[in-house]
Structure 1
Amino acid sequence: MSRPEILFPLFAGLETLAGVGPKTAQNMAHLGVTAPRDILFTLPHSGIDRALRETVSGADLPSTLTVEVKVGAHHAARNRGGAYRIHVEDAQTSFQLVFFHGRSDYLGRVLPQGSTRVVSGKVEMFDGIVQMVHPEHIVSVEDVETIPAFEPVYPLTAGVTQKTMFKASRAALGLLPQLGEWIDPNQLAQARWPDFAAAMTSAHTPVSMGDLAATSLARTRLAYDELMAHQLTLALARASERRVPGRMSVGDGRLQRKVRTALEFAATGAQDRAIDEIAQDMAQNVRMNRLLQGDVGAGKTFVAFMALLVAVEAGGQGVMMAPTEILARQHLEGLQPLAESAGVVLEILTGRDKGVERRAKLAALAAGDIHILVGTHAVFQADVYFADLRLAIVDEQHRFGVRQRLELGKKGADADVLVMTATPIPRSLALAQYGDMDVSVLDEKPPGRKPIKTALVSTGRMDEVVDRLRAVMAEGRQCYWVCPLVEESEAVDLTAAEERFKRLRAALGEGVVGLVHGQMPAAEKDAAMARFQAGETGVLVATTVIEVGVNVPNATIMVIERAETFGLAQLHQLRGRVGRGSAASTCLLMYQAPLSEAGQKRLEVLRETEDGFRIAETDLQMRGHGDLIGTAQSGVPRFRIADMERHTALMAIAQSDARKLLADDPTLETPRGQAARALLWLMRQDEAIRLISVG
């Protein structure tokens, strides 16, 4: 399938536009502009009022003004590089036009004495004299129409002027074809949006500041077009994934009932809802591709285990992958009692398994004697075979690439995939990043979870904090102490952690303080964690290696040093390491005074709420989506007009619109389907076009 001919002019070289030569075209590439289409998607970011007025008298100076003047005497510069001045009069007053390096032959031609001209430029007061320096426009009265009453101002780069951008954008607007409508007619009518060409023209010819607002009808429509193209691409990816046949895994509930009977608590409504959604997906004959998103402590592991039991009830096996050995062992410990109550065989496989033991596990797995396997990426190795893998659960999406997800799928040709993440993702990002997946959200805390008290303490009160730790340890409780992240290098992180470790050891005594950091060999790290989990050490000094999933119910204090240097989501994750047992827990955010206004606001949000979704939304508003997930590697698109923070609601509408369009017209053959194809080409979503099913 190739680009429709109607769009050819928009994708031609920039030199096809009036006023754009090879050099300018080269410079425009720095703005990400390589074709007329890109100029159209580079909207003006502000505007200048150039409406003709009677006089400069009474205007608030400095300001840009447009007036009709009678040209008076010319005063050439006295010295080289001095100012060339021309006396002019408008309807009420006189002022000067000033040109530096002005050439008298040129100025005599453009502004002959005694003529009437319209001039437009910045007027200011200098030494008591009103002057307009280097007018931007000088035209005869007949040509006054060539000065826009409200002139759009474009983003620029070296070697590209406003005049060039203005001229190029007018030329590009002239190439706009009349395209079919890809937006749902009801949505279009309800929003009162103009058609695409009209919206584009209006966005480039604003008549007031209001037209430049992101909320103007034209701009909202164009933002929606971008989001719609993106969501169509995700929906096409999802549809092609949906065509991957899956296994129907229908559970009879017997094992799940045993587990529920053995539990001391009832599942939350959110957990039950998620379990139902997953079970329904697994019962379909297409492959499940679902994201389970839950806040810290919302009980994802229980939901995951119930899903694994559906696979076992259906006669198959399940695997649960964790990014690190520590987490894999922790999943094993947490799930072992549940597995025993259900009477299913649960095993672990990590890089540590060697020789005879490893061979025995692999044989049991291949024979189907192991029902559920917990492991690290060691389960990807070529010699690992399952008898009948039905469900693969991947913990913490961002640690696993899509490639590994697919490799895991190969172990069971049509295994269902469930991805779990403990990072609450703001809705707009979830839609942009995981739009091809179905999402289940756990937004309730299981009963009996004690709220965590969060306090802000300045680093000047370090000694009080150490005294507090001493008292808590005397009661037999444990503490985490997280060292600041030093951007420069991991080596510096290491010194920070080692220094703190030495100082706390000196204050609290030998043997009660442990240390974990990123530079340690895995075995040492695991050993230090194991000692802390067993209660042999009372304080664990750590860099952020502990943020995800570590579970020590006896730890009730979390100290985060230089908390202002961490991201909100990370602080929220770290805080979630305490408050896992029955005792009241505290998180101390230590900051270095004075705090910036933004730093203060971030830490206060944490003090006020434990709702990870609210925290993530605040983080998004404060930092922008680029910082939040490092846009480069996150798979989140960069939009030219749409704004993910501002247009979350639009993104949700675009998603349901795109999915509905494909459900009604999977091959995009109807007139609206054809228009949607043009939209995909227009938005450079060429990969998506290849996914359109061919019947």
Structure 2
Amino acid sequence: MLRLDSDVQYVKGVGPRRASLLASRDIRTVQDLLLHLPKSYQDRAHFIPVSGLKVGQDAAVHARVYRSRVIQTRTRGRILDVILTDGSSFVHAKWFHGAYLQTREFSAGREVVLFGRVDFDRYESKFVFFNPEFELLDEGKDSSSLDIGRYVPVYEAVGGITSRQLRHIIAAALADSAKDINDPLPEEILEAHGLPDLRTCLERVHFPEPDDELTKLNQRRSPYHRRLIFEEFFLLELIFALRRIQSRSREGVRFETSERIRQQVKMILPFHPTAAQKRVLKEIVDDLKAPYPMVRLLQGDVGSGKTIVAFEAIVIAVSNGYQAALMAPTEILAEQHFLNAKRILAPLNYRIAVVRRGTKKAEKQELLEKIASGEIQVIVGTHALLEERTLFKNLGMVIIDEQHRFGVVQRLQLMAKGENPNTLVMTATPIPRTLAMTLYGDLDLSVIDQMPPGRSPIRTVHVMERDAERIYEMIRSELKQGHQAYVVYPVIEESEKIDLKSATEGFKKLSAIFAGYRVALLHGRLKSEQKEQTMAAFAAGESHILVSTTVIEVGVDVANATIMLIQHAERFGLAQLHQLRGRVGRGAQQSLCILMTPNRINDVARERIRAMVSSTDGFRLAEVDLQLRGPGEMAGTRQSGIPEFRVANLMTDGELLSLAQQEAQRWADRSEERGRLIEALSGRARLVTVG
């Protein structure tokens, strides 16, 4: 008997060679093999009369051999041609290189079941099956085959192992391991939600019975699929629930929010906060007053006012005598946060510093000493904050901006620089609810779903490259009104490998076209000082057009910039396009985002462009992006730690995810059941990989 954790090579029909092929698809154990589910199911149980066959349909036929012969051809070698009849009409079946079957198998009068796609032989004007699957029946007996006479599973081939071979291998694995299939889910959950037990589930998902619904099987909505999906989500959400319980068992940095502190928070507000900002701040304050450390994700669309909420949290931390660290993924964004911190926190006279990569050694050493001594209260930086030599005296608040640009490990590294500090992670790239639940299920979630008043909506248009002259005139019109413009390119320099306009060439061209205006160039290869000077000059209105790559994707806030031209918009992802567009529309003036593409673009790019033109709602665009790209690509699987599901699909299984989350939290809270459940599920942990 095989165990679920037995090496797959010991399954009948596998062996070492096929085991290595299966390993290329991460199928190494019997359990992995049983979770390699069919991609579809074919109805080979219901026979179609030969007279009712139609070209292009997949059909099962029950007939007798009328005649068989071998045809010798010049190009295809020997072909076995069999004529069959069920009494209603005749049909041909042809096997290329199948002459060896003739005398041994297809004798006249032999009863046969065929399955395949019906084709039409235009040379002989007749219906034909090419290389169909078949089964020869004993007189008067029905088939009990895995391949014919039933709903038959169709698998994605693995390294040359065909669907039919996998079918028989999986059947052998089920037969040999059936006694080891114990259900890890509590019976109470199965009964409450009408889910089948695991053994029944695996048997029926691979080899359905006649009373199963074929449509639901093919839609992956059968009870067996739903149960496997639920279990996969349940395991993940249980891990997250246990992490939250573990986090709340630690003693955190507990902050007071006295009237004095509340007044200090009000001092930094540049405008009356929206209802959404007030709600989110209350959620954060409640966390900060709790005895355990805050670990919260703050989501909000571009321009929704997340930054001011983050600075309010910083004020609470510093007012309680602790340091606050704000980490950003790029130097430009870190610099922007530093400048904002100095401006917004100016009334409170905080000591603020930014840790830059290019800082001179002596200057940086002095800065690090001031951070370690506690003299610096608010520290802004990039990955430099993670360096071993960057030490804090009493880090009480960690804020990570654009969390999706960092990995889970980096988040934990910064948190480890304090004694259980409160942590707020932010993203201006809206994440669909299902993706947020799997990426950040161990974090509490706050959403700013309201925009500050006084901003005009951004108009977005799609134009072709042939319209360039007209677009330049539109930019010129904005410049004449005293406004500024962005022109974004996908690459810094031109390449022989890809035919794309580049920022450096664009800078030269636009400098000539707009000779009366100051054009600046910004990209990632510039030194830190050059980037800072370029951005500062544009923010001060000293330059009129900023030619850039995607380094301005986040954090750049120049209210006077009212028009953006994105060259080769088809080369950018939907989230990138939305982030770039968010650099305009920061003030009260009407702003315009122009998406320029070649005349011909592929269908997926066209869908992205269409979505951008039709909506400025980042959350809606995130759902579209999830549909177009899938969760792994959208989140950046390795970087972000998104689970790699074997069965579940975030785009279609949101209902089961919510249900699994509720049940996981309920069972994690039941301390008397927790240990037994963890032990039962530990053997199933390979279902998902959590970063």
| TM-score where L is the length of structure 1 | 0.88
Which residue in 1 is equivalent to 2:185? 182
Which residue in 1 is equivalent to 2:273? 267
Partner Cα separation in structure 1 for residue 653 and residue 389 of structure 2: 48
Partner Cα separation in structure 2 for residue 281 and residue 614 of structure 1: 29
Q: Does 1:435 align with 2:441?
A: yes
Q: Does 1:684 align with 2:683?
A: no
- In the TM superposition, residue 155 of structure 1 has moved relative to its aligned partner by 0.9
Q: 1:273 to 1:184 in 2, by over 3 A?
A: farther
Partner Cα separation in structure 1 for residue 361 and residue 35 of structure 2: 60
Q: 1:232 to 1:379 in 2, by over 3 A?
A: same
Partner Cα separation in structure 2 for residue 237 and residue 156 of structure 1: 38
* CA contact 1:311–1:317 (8 Å) conserved in 2: yes
* CA contact 1:485–1:493 (8 Å) conserved in 2: no
Q: Does 1:34 align with 2:18?
A: no
The secondary structure found in structure 2 opposite 1:441 is strand
The secondary structure found in structure 1 opposite 2:293 is coil
Offset from partner CA, 1:63-119 (integer Å, 9 cap, x none): 554445444555454679333445544333444554444456x63343444554555
Which residue in 2 is equivalent to 1:631? 637
| Counterpart pick for 2:41 among 21, 44, 47 | 47
Report which stretch shifted further, 545-554 or 208-217.
Answer: 208-217
Partner Cα separation in structure 2 for residue 599 and residue 583 of structure 1: 29
Which residue in 2 is equivalent to 1:19? 13
Which residue in 2 is equivalent to 1:110? 105
- In the TM superposition, residue 259 of structure 1 has moved relative to its aligned partner by 4.0
Which residue in 1 is equivalent to 2:196? 194
* CA contact 1:514–1:528 (8 Å) conserved in 2: yes
Offset from partner CA, 1:469-492 (integer Å, 9 cap, x none): 222222221111111348997997
Within 5 Å, give how 1:597-612 maps onto structure 2: 597-612=603-618
Q: Does 1:82 align with 2:78?
A: yes
* CA contact 2:47–2:61 (8 Å) conserved in 1: yes
Partner Cα separation in structure 2 for residue 370 and residue 464 of structure 1: 51
Partner Cα separation in structure 2 for residue 432 and residue 513 of structure 1: 44
Which residue in 2 is equivalent to 1:288? 294
Which residue in 2 is equivalent to 1:555? 561
- In the TM superposition, residue 369 of structure 1 has moved relative to its aligned partner by 4.2
- In the TM superposition, residue 294 of structure 1 has moved relative to its aligned partner by 1.7
| Counterpart pick for 1:204 among 196, 199, 206 | 206
- In the TM superposition, residue 506 of structure 1 has moved relative to its aligned partner by 0.7
- In the TM superposition, residue 367 of structure 1 has moved relative to its aligned partner by 4.7
Which residue in 2 is equivalent to 1:247? 253
The secondary structure found in structure 2 opposite 1:572 is helix
Partner Cα separation in structure 1 for residue 594 and residue 298 of structure 2: 30
* CA contact 2:299–2:445 (8 Å) conserved in 1: yes
Partner Cα separation in structure 2 for residue 596 and residue 85 of structure 1: 43
The secondary structure found in structure 1 opposite 2:547 is strand
Q: 1:263 to 1:435 in 2, by over 3 A?
A: closer
Partner Cα separation in structure 2 for residue 82 and residue 490 of structure 1: 49
Q: 1:359 to 1:399 in 2, by over 3 A?
A: same
| 2:34 partner letter | L
| 1:128 partner letter | S
Q: Structure 1: 5+ residue runs without aligned partners?
A: 1-5
Which residue in 2 is equivalent to 1:3? none
Partner Cα separation in structure 2 for residue 418 and residue 511 of structure 1: 42
Which residue in 1 is equivalent to 2:537? 531
* CA contact 1:339–1:346 (8 Å) conserved in 2: no
Q: 1:202 to 1:456 in 2, by over 3 A?
A: same
Which residue in 2 is equivalent to 1:144? 143
| Counterpart pick for 1:450 among 418, 437, 456 | 456
Within 5 Å, give how 1:335-346 maps onto structure 2: 335-346=341-352
Report which stretch shifted further, 390-399 or 294-303.
Answer: 390-399
- In the TM superposition, residue 546 of structure 1 has moved relative to its aligned partner by 0.7
The secondary structure found in structure 1 opposite 2:51 is coil
Q: Does 1:161 align with 2:167?
A: no
Which residue in 1 is equivalent to 2:413? 407
| 2:325 partner letter | V
Within 5 Å, give how 1:511-526 maps onto structure 2: 512-526=518-532
Report which stretch shifted further, 326-335 or 679-688.
Answer: 679-688
Within 5 Å, give how 1:525-604 maps onto structure 2: 525-604=531-610
Partner Cα separation in structure 2 for residue 488 and residue 234 of structure 1: 46
Which residue in 1 is equivalent to 2:404? 398
Report which stretch shifted further, 294-303 or 312-321.
Answer: 312-321
Which residue in 2 is equivalent to 1:276? 282
* CA contact 1:20–1:164 (8 Å) conserved in 2: no
Partner Cα separation in structure 2 for residue 646 and residue 469 of structure 1: 43
The secondary structure found in structure 1 opposite 2:645 is coil
Q: Structure 2: 5+ residue runs without aligned partners?
A: none
Q: 1:140 to 1:398 in 2, by over 3 A?
A: same
Report which stretch shifted further, 57-66 or 153-162.
Answer: 57-66
* CA contact 1:223–1:642 (8 Å) conserved in 2: yes
Partner Cα separation in structure 2 for residue 340 and residue 415 of structure 1: 24
The count of corresponding residues between Structure 1 and Structure 2 is 677
* CA contact 1:56–1:67 (8 Å) conserved in 2: yes
Partner Cα separation in structure 2 for residue 358 and residue 595 of structure 1: 48
Report which stretch shifted further, 516-525 or 106-115.
Answer: 106-115
Identity of aligned residues (%): 37
- In the TM superposition, residue 683 of structure 1 has moved relative to its aligned partner by 3.8
Q: 1:487 to 1:420 in 2, by over 3 A?
A: farther
Q: Does 1:481 align with 2:478?
A: no
Partner Cα separation in structure 2 for residue 357 and residue 148 of structure 1: 79
Report which stretch shifted further, 214-223 or 9-18.
Answer: 9-18
CA root-mean-square deviation? 3.2
Report which stretch shifted further, 491-500 or 267-276.
Answer: 491-500
Partner Cα separation in structure 1 for residue 427 and residue 583 of structure 2: 15
| TM-score where L is the length of structure 2 | 0.89
Which residue in 1 is equivalent to 2:88? 92
Which residue in 2 is equivalent to 1:622? 628
- In the TM superposition, residue 612 of structure 1 has moved relative to its aligned partner by 0.8
| Counterpart pick for 1:464 among 461, 470, 476 | 470
The secondary structure found in structure 1 opposite 2:630 is helix
The secondary structure found in structure 1 opposite 2:674 is coil
Report which stretch shifted further, 109-118 or 558-567.
Answer: 109-118
| Higher RCO (C-alpha under 8 Å, 6+ residues apart) | 1
* CA contact 1:292–1:420 (8 Å) conserved in 2: yes
Q: 1:161 to 1:221 in 2, by over 3 A?
A: same
Offset from partner CA, 1:628-660 (integer Å, 9 cap, x none): 133243311221211111112322222232222
Partner Cα separation in structure 2 for residue 627 and residue 204 of structure 1: 29
- In the TM superposition, residue 681 of structure 1 has moved relative to its aligned partner by 1.4
Q: 1:474 to 1:140 in 2, by over 3 A?
A: same
Q: Does 1:373 align with 2:379?
A: yes
Which residue in 1 is equivalent to 2:125? 128
| 1:445 partner letter | M
Which residue in 2 is equivalent to 1:216? 222
Offset from partner CA, 1:225-251 (integer Å, 9 cap, x none): 111122223333444444443222223
Which residue in 2 is equivalent to 1:326? 332
Offset from partner CA, 1:405-456 (integer Å, 9 cap, x none): 3333343222222112111111111111111211211111112222222222
The secondary structure found in structure 2 opposite 1:194 is coil
Q: 1:526 to 1:83 in 2, by over 3 A?
A: same
Report which stretch shifted further, 264-273 or 658-667.
Answer: 658-667
| 1:270 partner letter | A
Q: 1:306 to 1:188 in 2, by over 3 A?
A: same
* CA contact 2:78–2:99 (8 Å) conserved in 1: no
Partner Cα separation in structure 2 for residue 79 and residue 295 of structure 1: 66
Q: 1:87 to 1:392 in 2, by over 3 A?
A: closer
Partner Cα separation in structure 2 for residue 684 and residue 356 of structure 1: 49
Q: 1:353 to 1:365 in 2, by over 3 A?
A: same
* CA contact 1:494–1:517 (8 Å) conserved in 2: no
